[in-house]
Amino acid sequence: MLAEDKALLVSGLEGELGRSESAEGCAAAPEVGLRAGEASLVARLKAGELGAFEELVAEYQPLVQALALRILGDAEDARDATQETFIKVYRHLSRFRGEASFKTWVCRIAINQARSDERWFRRRRRNETGSLDEPEEDQRRAARGALTSPAATPEAATLARERQRQLEQALAGLKKDFRIAVMLRDVEGLSYEEIAYILEISVGTVKSRIARGREMLRARLEQAAASHFDGCPDD
């Protein structure tokens, strides 16, 4: 996950974990169709404007790569999947009719591409050891470094790194289905309907995955906090 997404997740997910399902049921109506500025970008892309494609990549690359990384668990594989995603977005622009937001449509292609790559990698690596679910150490280092502001006090920086480490471990321990659903909701702020469209599942299944994912995250974070407290020396 890229630094921007991690920062949002650290600050936003804690609030989301405290929300009840009854409150979620009162969420605002989902957005339908193109968001502001998307219509112009899509029109320029369909017209073959090179600058529009560069703008597309600049706007959506962090999101696409974060999603791919969460599915594939390998930074290099995620970069390859990201490149292939943008190629497919460009090739299939004629299929985009604006029924959903452009961001939602791009997310759907990105996740399908990553899942397709994952199946291929699993076949290729069938006889190799290791798990694609294990987070990359360089990803952890990059995240910890990115979240530490040069202006932060040493105490605040240490606390931020510890919170990030605990959250990263908790997320990594979730099944991919729960991990992706939580990320789309709590990092990207997508509606249940948009997530259902992206993942090609029912809204009820989306709500179930998010609820279960948050519950497991809460339990893991509480356990990590308790372990940290138990390990601290007495005054």
pLDDT at 106: 95
Q: What is the pLDDT of residue 104?
A: 93
| Token representation of residue 39 | 């219509």
pLDDT at 110: 96
Alpha helices, H only, the chain: 3-17, 21-24, 38-46, 50-72, 75-91, 102-124, 137-147, 154-172, 176-182, 192-199, 203-231
**Amino acid, res. 218:** R
Non-local (6+) Cβ contacts of 201 within 8 A are none
How far is residue 126's CA from residue 10's CA, in Å, rounded to a whole number? Answer: 35
Cα gap 127→46, rounded to integer Å: 44
CATH number of the domain at 1-28+135-229, please? 1.10.10.10
Q: Which CATH architecture has domain 31-133?
A: Orthogonal Bundle (1.10)
| Structure tokens, 123 | 């076949």
pLDDT of 72 reads: 87
Angle of helix 203-231 relative to helix 192-199, nearest 10 degrees, comes to 100
Question: Dihedral (C-alpha) 133, 2, 97, 100: value to the nearest 10 degrees?
Answer: 80
Residue 121 to residues 63, 132, 137, 201, Cα–Cα distance (Å): 22, 9, 20, 24
Domains of the chain, by residue range, sit at 1-28+135-229, 31-133
CA-closest candidate to residue 117, choices 166, 151, 72: 72
How many other CB atoms are there within 10 angstroms of residue 122's CB atom? 11
Tell if the pTM clears 0.85, that is, is over it. Answer: no
Q: Which pLDDT score is estimated for 7?
A: 46
Per-residue pLDDT of the chain (235 residues; tens, 9 = 90+): 444 444 444 444 545 454 444 334 433 334 456 676 888 999 999 999 989 999 999 999 999 999 998 888 889 999 999 999 999 999 999 999 888 899 999 999 999 999 998 877 666 655 454 444 444 444 444 433 433 445 557 777 777 676 767 677 777 778 889 989 998 998 788 999 999 999 999 999 999 999 999 998 888 888 877 765 555 555 5
Which of 205, 146, 156, 143 is closest to 180 using CA atoms? 205
